[in-house]
Amino acid sequence: MEENKNKEQFPDIDPLTNDKFVPEHEFDGIRELANNPPWWLTFIFIFSMLFAYFYLAKYHFYGDGDLPSQEYENEMLAANPEEEEEGAGGIVIEADDTDYSVPLADAGGLDKGAKIFKTNCAVCHLAEGQGLVGPNLTDEYWIHGGSFDDITLIINNGVVEKGMIAWKGQLSKKQIHQVASYITTLQGTNPPNPKAPEGEKYEPME
């Protein structure tokens, strides 16, 4: 009698789906049905497992292809082909005999500096360096010093309190040298509508 009562309370087949219940899989009145997942879910699971094994073998065991970290480095090198790479990974550091303490004089380097300036600096200093949010770079007055070392230092470290970001994390040492060299050529160019002088007049030491 007790056995029949339990069967009525916990039947072997779900009356709604006609699926069998898993024996002894019951908790707090909730029972598990012994039904299989749909075919498409089974297919996705099997495909995912096969893809995982293929990916592991291709990229980790045989090294046939670049991992995401290497793809990122390749894209960064493509965006900044002149950037010097340091560290492990078999990256070769090219010899560089450039004197970074003096401005460039060659037209090629200055042209590259002009392109960097127009891409990154013109938004605050305008395309001809006459100043907008940032100061005028074409006159003799400088807020933080007008020597080449001063200009390079400001580009590298920025002036955060005045909205000038540090570019050393975004431009390579060579690119900063190029744009700093280009900025030195702007003095005395007299562009239209220049911003009023700011800071102190810089007089180069003889």
Q: Which residues contact 202 (CB under 8 A, 6 or more apart)?
A: 140, 141, 142, 145, 146, 147
Q: Which residues contact 180 (CB under 8 A, 6 or more apart)?
A: 103, 113, 148, 151, 152, 155
> What domains lie within the chain, and their CATH numbers?
2-33 (no CATH), 107-201 (1.10.760.10)
Scored b (16 or more CB within 10 A) or e, 104-119 reads beeeebbebbbebbee
Question: Given a cut of 90, is residue 56 above it in pLDDT?
Answer: no
- The interaxial angle of helices 173-184 and 148-157, nearest 10 deg, is 130
User: Which residue reads 């580009």 in tokens?
Assistant: 155
Q: pLDDT tens across 84-127, in order?
A: 444 444 444 455 678 889 999 999 999 999 999 999 999 999 99
Q: Tell me the C-alpha distance between 138 and 184, whole Å.
A: 9
pLDDT in the model for residue 2: 47
Q: pLDDT tens across 151-164, in order?
A: 999 999 999 888 89
| Average pLDDT across the chain, whole number | 82
Question: Given a cut of 90, is residue 33 above it in pLDDT?
Answer: no
Q: Which residue has the higher pLDDT, 198 or 78?
A: 198
Q: Tell me the C-alpha distance between 66 and 73, whole Å.
A: 10
Q: Tell me the C-alpha distance between 108 and 84, whole Å.
A: 19
Mean pLDDT is lowest, of 15-24, 109-118, 193-202, for: 15-24
The answer to whether the pTM exceeds 0.85 is no
